[in-house]
């Protein structure tokens, strides 16, 4: 099946899904801190779970988990390859 | 600059990300040959230890874990100071020991990549190599060594594996060639180098200038402007704009991670981890609802441990102090020295040591839970709830610790990186019902709250009142935090970018070393204050001595009793007289006079001079109030709680009516719930905020709140009753 990349933000990713970081709005201090932890364009990020109440989010990069608030996750655009079925 | 003579042995800096096992490694290398202090003027801990190697001794400095040298947090600023040789009392480093987590090379290499540009010899310790196979991670050590241009030594601190090789590498670290790293951002390096040439000689290192150009208005830039003049700010700003402006820090991350991805792809292979029961269990308990239930269970266990496991030890300490005090009192001739030793010094030491069992149990849980990676999980889970109060998920553990004692709670707020959120948490912490408030509540509730069931026998009124007092503390603290976050500490919501480490088994040796360390810090910070105030309160209650006239009267009464009574009756009468005379002595002591002097202030709360004096004596340390009440109501300062409750129930106001009515008692308890009657807490707030502003604010605010709260309670309860 051919896959069609769709773009959304990290905040909208569903639990258990992985995506590739496409672009980052990088002027916020919080976002820069995330980037120092390895969240940069081209890396694969997985949304592991959401905390009680939907925020913050637990994401993982190369099996290393970290916590991100929705407010920062909205500044990160990701490409998900949704398979047409 | 520190003089190199300050330390004769070579200085090696241990640096790495948090949760890499760096402290465990440091403790394994130095054992008990280490000292903890703060870096001057800040609350960043400096661990300095001695490592014995074949060729002699090395000084090893353990820096707080950091993810980068971005110089945004105080920890990172201090790390840069130490690395460039700017830290007071520390010689410039001869080499670096960089700790890398084998299961998380990608992120760990970011800091390593920055450190490579410092021009210092490096040794890499690869930790967690025992956990890597379980996670499906294999690292090619030779290839990594080649890429990094420095020795890479796999170690397992817990078993000692690789430790000998690491010691050998450290012994010769100073003579290793410097990894010839080309700067990741050549334009930035060039800009910093030319700026350095324009400035006065030795004004700043290239590293500091690079960090300041990356973020001119960040901490690194501001501090540079403070040190070498405001003119540099303009210069930093224009250089920043020439290189990319506000996106410059992001450009650094992009450039370095592009290089890191190449390294990781060449040295690391990952296969999906083998399914294990532990992993499955972890997945279940990480779901929101089970995670919350687990959190409640963990906190219940911690509470149970702090309050019931500590009790037998506390009883032993209490009894020991009483026995010692009685022995000293009877061994020495009566007089000021006798009283100073038995009632002042021994009681003062006892008042400090009695807290140790609870504090150590609390610290033990905190250290173990931290090492297991649970604290970050708790912060993640509670973040949403805490944010509603303007706090962060990180505030949960310090606030819960404060139920045992606000001092370790406030010390624990260091994990909160945002200054405003941290101060709000510090101000909220003393509102939590600490274990020193509990005996006061217990005494008053047992004596004055009717033992009756409410809600159809489901609840007990006494328990309900106690619960209400705990709730009052929590609500008071949370509302206060909200209030100051919306006024004095207003600002953008800080981020919660937080690593969530996987489950790890704590290392017993490392836990023990840190537990001793924390216990010492508590004794030093709180113990000295508590001891001093115990002596001051003793002096106020002892001096001036009763007049010759009163003494003669007292002797007369004792003589009459001895002449007319015998046996059991005489003994009882003598005890009664001794207690009565102690009460009379206290009435005309400085404390008694203060009580009478300030009685008008507290009269609206329904207090007489005796209660006023007891509460005033409790201002430096609230638990003192029970001993003072015991003396002042003439049942002795070591009275059984029942004897004191009886006496309080029968105490009369000057007009002959009961002194302690239910409204007055409820008001008194509300006063206790809010009042900051603890000099140790005030001292710790001063230390942790590095200013007098916050401790003065906290003390004034809480005292006013306590008075107003008690006044309203007395009047409302009086009107209802």
Print pLDDT tens along chain A (85 aa). Answer: 555 678 899 999 999 999 999 999 988 888 888 999 999 999 999 999 998 888 899 999 998 999 999 989 999 999 987 544 3
Can you give the pLDDT at residue B126? Answer: 97
Q: Please state, in angstroms and as integers, the Cα–Cα distance from residue B205 to each residue in A65, B200, B253, B256, B596, following that order.
A: 35, 11, 22, 21, 63
Residues 6 or more apart whose Cβ sits within 8 Å of residue B662: B448, B449, B717, B721
Q: Which helix (H) or strand (E) holds A49?
A: strand A44-50
Token pair in block for residue A70: 């929705």
The stretches in chain B having pLDDT less than 70 are 1-8, 492-494, 635-641, 721
Residues 6 or more apart whose Cβ sits within 8 Å of residue B312: none
Residues 6 or more apart whose Cβ sits within 8 Å of residue B225: B232, B233, B236
Of A3, A9, A23, give the one whose Cα is nearest residue A59: A9
Alpha helices in B44-94 (DSSP H): 74-83
Neighbours of B34 (CB within 10 A): 19
Q: Which helix (H) or strand (E) holds B453?
A: strand B453-454
Q: Three-state DSSP class for B383?
A: helix
HEC assignment per residue over B565-607: CCHHHHHHHHHHHHHHHHHHHHHCCHHHHHHHHHHHHHHHHCC
Q: What angle do CA B172, B176, B180 make, to 5 degrees?
A: 160
Whether residue B61 contacts residue B10, with contact meaning beta carbons closer than 8 Å, is answered with no
Whether residue A58 contacts residue B283, with contact meaning beta carbons closer than 8 Å, is answered with no
- Residues forming beta bridges with residue A45, ordered by sequence position: A19, A61
CA B105 to CA B84: how far, in whole Å? 25
Q: Please state, in angstroms and as integers, the Cα–Cα distance from residue B554 to each residue in B533, B557, B637, following that order.
A: 30, 5, 19
The most distant pair of C-alpha atoms in chain A lies apart, rounded to whole Å, by 40
Chain A residues with CB inside 8 Å of B286's CB? 48-49, 58
Whether residue B620 contacts residue B541, with contact meaning beta carbons closer than 8 Å, is answered with no
How near does any CA of chain A get to the CA of B499, in Å? Answer: 4
Whether residue B127 contacts residue B97, with contact meaning beta carbons closer than 8 Å, is answered with no
At A8, give phi and psi (nearest 5°).
-150, -175
Token pair in block for residue B305: 């441990």
Residues 6 or more apart whose Cβ sits within 8 Å of residue B137: A63, B102, B103, B268, B269, B270
Can you give the pLDDT at residue B647? Answer: 81
First-to-final CA distance of chain A: 8
Neighbours of B657 (CB within 10 A): 8
CA B713 to CA B605: how far, in whole Å? 9
Q: Three-state DSSP class for B154?
A: strand
Q: What angle do CA B558, B564, B568 make, to 5 degrees?
A: 85
Whether residue A61 contacts residue A43, with contact meaning beta carbons closer than 8 Å, is answered with yes
What tens digit of pLDDT does each residue of B347-383 get?
778 877 888 888 899 889 989 998 898 988 898 988 9
Q: Which one-letter DSSP state was computed for residue B161?
A: B
8 Å CB contact of B495 and A30: yes
Smallest Cβ–Cβ distance between A64 and the set B107, B493, B498 belongs to B107
Smallest Cβ–Cβ distance between B250 and the set A32, A55, A68 belongs to A32
How near does any CA of chain B get to the CA of A22, in Å? Answer: 13
A66 to chain B: nearest residue by CA?
A: B499
Q: Three-state DSSP class for B49?
A: strand
8 Å CB contact of A68 and B497: yes
DSSP string covering B234-253: HHHHHHHHHHTGGGHHHHHH
How near does any CA of chain B get to the CA of A60, in Å? Answer: 9
CA B513 to CA B509: how far, in whole Å? 6
A50 to chain B: nearest residue by CA?
A: B288
Tokens 């992985």 belong to: A18
Of B243, B241, B208, give the one whose Cα is nearest residue B224: B208
Please, what is the angle between helix B567-587 and helix B624-632, to 10°? 110
8 Å CB contact of B288 and A37: no
Torsion of CA B356, B361, B365, B370, to 10 degrees: 20
- Model's pTM, two decimal places? 0.83
Smallest Cβ–Cβ distance between B495 and the set A48, A52, A69 belongs to A69
Can you give the pLDDT at residue B703? Answer: 96
How near does any CA of chain A get to the CA of B132, in Å? Answer: 12
CA A5 to CA A18: how far, in whole Å? 12
8 Å CB contact of A34 and B287: no
Of B318, B401, B326, B332, give the one whose Cα is nearest residue B366: B401
Whether residue B302 contacts residue B400, with contact meaning beta carbons closer than 8 Å, is answered with yes
Smallest Cβ–Cβ distance between A66 and the set B385, B393, B497 belongs to B497
Can you give the pLDDT at residue B544? Answer: 84
Of B462, B400, B428, B519, give the one whose Cα is nearest residue B702: B428
Whether residue B192 contacts residue B210, with contact meaning beta carbons closer than 8 Å, is answered with yes
């Amino acid at each position: 099946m051919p896959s069609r990349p769709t773009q959304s933000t990290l905040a909208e990713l569903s639990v258990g899904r992985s995506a590739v970081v496409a672009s980052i709005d990088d002027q916020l201090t919080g976002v820069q801190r995330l980037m120092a932890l390895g969240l940069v364009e081209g890396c694969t990020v997985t949304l592991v779970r959401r905390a009680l109440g939907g925020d913050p989010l637990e994401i993982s990069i190369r099996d290393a988990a970290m916590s991100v608030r929705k407010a920062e996750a909205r500044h990160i655009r990701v490409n998900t390859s949704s398979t047409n079925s | 600059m520190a003089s190199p003579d300050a330390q004769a042995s070579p200085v090696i800096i241990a640096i790495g990300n948090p949760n890499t096992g760096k402290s465990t490694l440091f403790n394994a290398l130095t054992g008990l040959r280490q000292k903890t202090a703060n870096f001057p003027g800040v609350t960043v801990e400096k661990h300095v230890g001695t490592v014995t190697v074949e060729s002699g001794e090395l000084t090893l400095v353990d820096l707080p874990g950091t993810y980068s040298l971005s110089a945004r947090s105080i920890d990172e600023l201090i790390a840069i100071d130490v690395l460039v040789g700017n830290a007071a009392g520390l010689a410039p480093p001869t080499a670096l020991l960089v700790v890398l987590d084998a299961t998380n090379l990608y992120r760990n290499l970011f800091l390593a990549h920055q450190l490579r540009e410092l021009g210092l010899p490096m040794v890499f310790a690869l930790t967690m190599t025992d956990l890597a196979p379980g996670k499906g991670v294999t690292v090619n050590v030779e290839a990594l060594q080649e890429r990094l241009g420095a020795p890479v030594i796999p170690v397992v601190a817990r078993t000692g594996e690789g430790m000998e090789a690491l010691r050998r590498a450290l012994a010769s670290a100073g003579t290793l060639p410097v990894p010839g790293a080309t700067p990741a951002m050549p334009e930035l390096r060039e800009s910093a180098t030319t700026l350095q040439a324009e400035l006065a000689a030795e004004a700043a290192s290239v590293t500091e200038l690079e960090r300041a150009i990356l973020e001119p208005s960040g901490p690194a830039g501001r501090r540079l402007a403070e040190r070498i003049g405001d003119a540099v700010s303009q210069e930093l700003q224009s250089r920043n704009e020439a290189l990319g402006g506000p996106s410059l820090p992001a450009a650094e991350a992009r450039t370095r991670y592009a290089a890191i991805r190449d390294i990781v792809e060449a040295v690391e292979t990952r296969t999906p981890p083998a399914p294990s029961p532990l992993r499955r269990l972890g997945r279940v308990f990480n779901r929101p609802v089970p995670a919350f239930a687990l959190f409640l269970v963990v906190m219940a266990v911690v509470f149970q441990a702090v309050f019931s496991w500590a009790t037998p030890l506390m009883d032993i300490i209490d009894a020991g102090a009483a026995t010692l005090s009685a022995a000293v009192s009877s061994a020495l001739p009566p007089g000021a020295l006798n009283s100073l030793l038995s009632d002042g010094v021994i009681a003062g030491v006892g008042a400090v040591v009695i807290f140790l069992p609870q504090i150590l149990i609390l610290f033990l849980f905190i250290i173990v839970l931290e090492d297991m990676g649970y604290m970050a999980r708790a912060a993640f889970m509670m973040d949403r709830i805490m944010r509603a109060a303007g706090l962060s998920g990180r505030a949960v553990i310090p606030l819960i610790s404060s139920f045992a004692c606000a001092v370790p709670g406030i010390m624990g707020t260091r994990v909160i990186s945002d200054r405003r959120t941290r101060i709000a948490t510090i101000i909220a912490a003393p509102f939590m019902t600490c274990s020193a408030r509990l005996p006061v509540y217990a005494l008053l509730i047992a004596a004055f709250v009717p033992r009756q069931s409410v809600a159809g026998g489901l609840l007990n009124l006494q328990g309900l009142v106690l619960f209400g007092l705990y709730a009052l503390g929590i609500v008071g603290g949370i509302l206060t935090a909200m209030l100051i976050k919306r006024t004095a500490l207003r600002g953008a919501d800080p981020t919660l970018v937080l690593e969530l480490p996987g489950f790890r088994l704590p290392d017993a040796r490392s836990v023990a070393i840190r537990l001793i360390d924390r216990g010492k810090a508590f004794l030093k910070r709180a113990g000295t204050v508590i001891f001093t105030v115990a002596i001051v309160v003793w002096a106020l209650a002892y001096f001036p001595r009763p007049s010759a006239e009163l003494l003669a009267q007292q002797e007369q009464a004792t003589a009459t009793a001895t002449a007319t009574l015998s046996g059991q009756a005489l003994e009882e009468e003598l005890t009664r007289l001794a207690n009565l005379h102690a009460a009379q002595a206290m009435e005309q002591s400085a404390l008694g006079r203060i009580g009478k002097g300030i009685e008008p202030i507290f009269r609206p709360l329904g207090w007489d001079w005796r209660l006023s004096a007891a509460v005033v004596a409790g201002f430096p340390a609230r638990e003192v109030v029970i001993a003072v009440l015991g003396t002042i109501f003439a049942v002795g300062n070591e009275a059984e709680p029942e004897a004191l409750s009886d006496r309080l129930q029968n105490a009369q106001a000057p007009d002959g009516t009961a002194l302690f009515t239910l409204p007055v008692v409820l008001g008194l308890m509300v006063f206790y719930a809010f009042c900051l009657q603890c000099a140790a807490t005030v001292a710790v707030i001063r230390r942790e905020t590095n200013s007098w502003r916050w401790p003065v604010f906290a003390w004034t605010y809480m005292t006013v709140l306590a008075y107003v709260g008690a006044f309203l309670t007395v009047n409302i309860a009086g009107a209802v009753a």
